[in-house]
Structures are given as structure tokens and as C-alpha cells.
Structure 1
């Protein structure tokens, strides 16, 4: 059945907006070529989107060209503003951006273990409000928030934050109460996977497994172009994965004895001590994240083969379990440790993984490190804002 004229207009408008968002400003002729629509149809949709305030003329194509066909159209960046937060055990980092994702302001706040719940919440919420004002963001539409806990896929609410500071859950509630914006929560590892898929090491992959290697351990799963969260939001909790070599078993209340005990930052420290590998010396490349990331980066720079092989073996055990169940075709080593290990650690993991599973699997180093969570939160906020604004404009 053919679409009605109104439905066709909505589809065409959304397609044009998506192209303008993903490829930047375009002329009407370029929109015609990329959409396959007729010239009159493109002219009509351009008029509609301009009237809605979503796009505007941002220039002309070529110094010698004049007239309507030479006009270059782009999305109105300040039509809405966005914010993103990365909530960690030790503090909060945040960014404020426009509708196209361009950063307007950013800030960070360390929060010590001795800080009470209410003071921590007040400081973090006030930091966001102050940063929004400094950015001149008068139309805060969406706020993407990355949290360590599990998000209920049915309600979008924080389901559990077991073992995390009490201010985490309270801050989420405070943001929802204080901000005139839509607050969207997502598990931090899932957000990092989104960022690597949209702007990092998995840009060309519809299916891949993302392993977060940092203070903690987790996984984000993309299959057939979709992020998979599981029935309760717990897909990817591989820190609890029982594996040989841990000296024990995990439990329902703790991941000690699971994959976490092999490859978390603390485990990497202990492995480095076992192999006599220390922090890098003068002239070594600087890395962000836990000190374990500096150890891994220093080991790569110094060619510490025995240590790197041992670490690669540990990572390959978890990667093999994930690969055997999901067959993602690609594993991305993310987080601060994955970035620090780079292509060299990824190569060693791929070699060992090939000996553990018959499923051909490429292993890549993540490109975004610890910044992936904030990047994914901003992408999530932008998607939400664009969905709402585009839907309103094309009804």
C-alpha cells in the first residue's frame, strides 16, 4: 500500500533532516541527489523545515553561483541545547552542547568518599546548572546521563546501584526534579559502546562486542545495528562471568572470582607486580584513567612481552565466552586500559582468541578511552532532542 501524502511528507522531511545532521550543510540539489526525490518535492520540504525553525540558509555554494539552487541549508544549532553527564564513583564530568553536538562548555567535579550524600548531590547539580548558564544554553532540551548501575529497559529508571555511593541514585532524582529538560539514563558501558560505534573503533560494524576495561569491567553488545540491553538491563555484566584462573567464583552480590578478578585495574596492578612491570619512566606517553592504564601503556612502549601476553590471555578468556555465545565478529577493547594497550594489545588478544574459538573474530583497540561515556551520553541526548524536535516539526 502506497503511503499517504502526509506520511510521505513526514518520511521525506525526516530523511532530509538526518542527512543534514550527519553530512553537514547541503544545497537543495545535493539533497535531491542524496534522497532521490524530485526537485519540487525537495523545494517543498526545504520550505517546511525553514518555517518550522529547524533549518536555515548558512551560505552559498560557489562564488559564481547565485539564486535558490546555490543556497546551502543547515540545521539551526541553537534550536535546542543538550547536556551530558558521566557519573563515576570518584566524581562527575559534564559537557553542554548545541543541537549539532558542538561543545559549548564543560566541567568536572571530584567527589571524595568522605562527602555526604546531600552535599555531593547539591554540588553536582549546581555545577551542571552553572555550566549551562555559562554556555548560554537557554533551551536545554535533553540531558544524557551515564551511570554505573543497571537501567530498567521498560521504565528507563536506575534499577540498581549496588555497592555505589548513595549520592548516585539521589543525584539522578535531583536532576529530574530541578532541570526543565528530559533526563535520559543509560548504563555507562552501553554509552561507551554507542560512542565507539558512532564515532570510534566500530564505525563500520553493525555487530560487535565492546569490552570496557578500567576500574571495573563490563560489556556493551551491538547486534544487527542495535544495542542489546537484556530482559532486566543487565546484558554485558561480564565482570560476574565465571572463568578459570580467578581462584574462586563470583556471587550474586559480588564479582570477585569472576572476569573482574582477572582484568580490572586492580588485577592489572597485581599482574604487573608479578611480572616486575612498573610505571613508565620519563618520556613515556601520557594516558588518562587509573594508574593501571599507565602501566599497560608503559609495557607496550617498553615491549614487555611476558606481561602483555599474560594480560592478553586473561582478556581472551572473557572475549571467548562472549564470542561463543553471540558471534559478534568483532571485539573492541575499550575503556582506559583498552586505549592504553592500543593495537599491540588488541593484536595479542586476537591471536589468543583465535585459539579458543572457531568463530572468526577481529579484535580492535577502542579509540575513545574513558571519554567514551561522556561522548555516548551526549549522542544519546542529541538523538532524543532531534527525535522530539523532528517529530514535532513533521507532524
Structure 2
């Protein structure tokens, strides 16, 4: 705990109690002074002083009254989560999706912003600033309270080379020093992370991987990727590029998205390859989303899913050989569209052709998993920053 007073002094004890009370309000929601005293193992007079200090500092506010028994209604208090905020952002070549994040895990509305198609009209600081302002506007929040953004991108930052941005979906963005540029221009902390890694964070917290000792998230969408969760921690690699399996060589003889032998796994099960496979079975659509919607009701669904399972197994086996995870989660638009049917067929093929026997399951994260993962990381950060502000009361 950040404090300027020596341990054991009245000022130090005051700061300790203040932080404890604020932590309890963040964890439990609205509490009365009596309940704060009980949960915080402090006397009622001490709890009353703590509440007075926190309210005067603007860190908590009155939530309402709560009746217990025949006595007078007790005033309840809630943490002022609007004091420190974050913004979660999912960005690709065509659009941004963003939502506000606060320390109370409030369910804020997600906004979507289209982006210019040409690199000459793209500008990284302007785009992120626009996302922050729009996310705050829809939730009635003050953009000045935003302290950090977490940006999910299709790619990664290579930390060996001045944060080199390795991404094919952010035209017009600088290739190096992009994080420093954003922090300097926006005057807040910036985290840029791979989109699949963020989705894995969400899968661990609220998805099918909640109880897994370790798991691999195999992402099937416009791109192809994997996230590696080892004992509850996403492994990002020495330089940030772990899980970039789309660049692995394709098995010999496999036909790719252009009808010729595939070179990389991306050519076997990325969006273009899935669209081609669907069209071969008379399922048509302009985009991957169109194809997946049509696949859901097509008589050819079983045949397409069976072939897709064969291809997905090519990508999963190398991960099994290296990591031997307890669980393989099929995520991304294609993985979720395939659902339990695709997961079951992939599991069968793995068991029939290899020595590994992981559980294979479809992702169960609701909504946008990239934003959900960014939100989880930001909740921790904004809570810590809010708690650190307690030290200023007793400084």
C-alpha cells in the first residue's frame, strides 16, 4: 500500500483502514457503516471516521438507505467508480468497437465506429481519442477520468525493436513506437495486446475454460491464431509473438483458399478458405459473417463442418505436441459457428490420429470476447489506481 507514514502510526493505520473500506465497497457493492466495521474488522467509531474521510475525498458517495430490523434505516455507501476509468478497444482494418470500464464492473454500452479504408486517412492517436470520447459520451462519463486504454489488435508488438507493430490490419498506423506515440498524444497509459490473447483472458474468467488447469484458445476468424494459457497466465512469448500459428507451413497436398496447394495454415482455415469451402457446397455470401449465417441453416452444414474439422486438427496438433493442454477451446466467428458439432469432430480426429486426449469445446464467452478480455485487465488496473488515491487523504 502506498503511504507516506511509518507503519503503526495513526496516519498509517488511518490509510490502512481507508483502503480496506474502499476495497470492501468495490468487492461487495453498497455497504452501511456497521457492515464496513464488521467486514473490515474495525470498531464502529473507526468505520464512521473512515466513511467520513472517504466521502469528503470524493471516493465514495451515499447509495441509499437499508432497513434492518426495527431500528432506523442505515445509510449505505458506494465507491465512486467514475473517478478512475479505462476504455477497452477492439480495432481492425474496418472498424473500432469500444466500451468504458470502471472498478465496479458496470456493464457499459459498446459503441462501434467505422474507419477509413485507405491508409492515408488513418491516424492512430485520432482514432483512439475518438473511441475514448465516444465510449464516454454513451455512458455519460468524463473523458478526463480515463487513465488507461487496452487495445486489442490482430497482430502483436515486438518488444525487441522499439515496440514494432506486426499487424496487417492497421493501415496508416506507425510500425514502431506506436505505444509511446499514443501515450504522448493522449496523456494516458496504453496497453496494446493481441486480440486472441485478450479473448483467452475472457475465456478464463467467464467462459468454458474457467476451471481448466491450462488451455489453448484456437481462434478461427478472418485470421488464424492461438492463445496459450498456462496455469491461469496467458503466455505471450519472449517478444510477444506466441500463438501466431497462421504462419505455420500447411501440410503437403492440402488445397488452399485459391484452389492451389496451401502454403500456410492461414490458407487452409482462414476466412477466405472457409468462404471457398462453403461455396464448393453451394453456400454463398460476400463476407465470412454472411457465410456463417447461411451455414447455420444449410443442408450442407454437416459436410462443411466435417471438412473444417479435418483442417482444424492440422492446426491443433502442433499445439498439443508442444503444450499438452488439458483443454482446447475453439473460438472466433468460425469456431463459435461450428459449436459443439465442430468441437466433437475435432476431438474425435485428435483421439483417432494422435496420442493426445484433450477436451475440445466451443467458446462460451458472450458478446465480444476481445473487449471482454480487455475489460478484465482494465478492471484490475482502475481498481488499483482508485485504491492508490487513498494514500493522498492521509499524506
Q: TM-score, normalised by structure 1?
A: 0.77
Q: Give the gaps of 5 or more residues in structure 1.
A: 250-255, 280-289
> Match of 2:69?
64
> Match of 2:199?
192
> Match of 1:169?
174
Q: CA deviation at 1:9?
A: 9.4
Answer yes or no: is the 8 Å Cα contact 2:151–2:374 preserved in 1: yes
Measure the CA separation in 2 of the matches of 1:181 and 1:164: 24
> Match of 2:274?
268
Answer yes or no: is the 8 Å Cα contact 1:142–1:382 preserved in 2: no
Change (3 A) 1:261 1:141: same
Measure the CA separation in 2 of the matches of 1:328 and 1:29: 47
> Match of 2:157?
151
Match of 1:124 among 123, 127, 150: 127
> Match of 2:247?
240
Q: CA deviation at 1:76?
A: 1.9
Q: CA deviation at 1:345?
A: 2.0
Please show how residues 299-314 of structure 1 align to structure 2 within 5 Å: 299-302=295-298, 304-314=301-311
- What secondary structure is seen at the aligned counterpart in 1 of 2:219? strand
Q: CA deviation at 1:167?
A: 2.2
Match of 1:47 among 45, 50, 73: 50
Change (3 A) 1:219 1:11: farther
Match of 1:107 among 106, 111, 116: 111
Matched length: 371
> Match of 1:252?
none
> Match of 1:284?
none
Q: Is residue 291 of structure 1 aligned with residue 297 of structure 2?
A: no
Measure the CA separation in 1 of the matches of 2:251 and 2:146: 49
Match of 2:368 among 365, 368, 371: 371
Q: Which is higher, the Rg of structure 1 or of structure 2?
A: 2
384-393 or 321-330, which deviates more:
384-393
> Match of 2:350?
353
Q: Could you give the per-residue CA deviations for residues 125-159 of structure 1, whole angstroms, max 9, x where no partner exists? A: 4523542562332411111111223234689x743
Change (3 A) 1:41 1:327: farther
> Match of 2:4?
none
Measure the CA separation in 1 of the matches of 2:136 and 2:54: 28
Q: Could you give the per-residue CA deviations for residues 25-54 of structure 1, whole angstroms, max 9, x where no partner exists? A: 456787788x7x745499659927836654
180-189 or 163-172, which deviates more:
163-172
Q: TM-score, normalised by structure 2?
A: 0.77
Change (3 A) 1:238 1:389: same
> Match of 2:90?
86
- What secondary structure is seen at the aligned counterpart in 1 of 2:241? coil
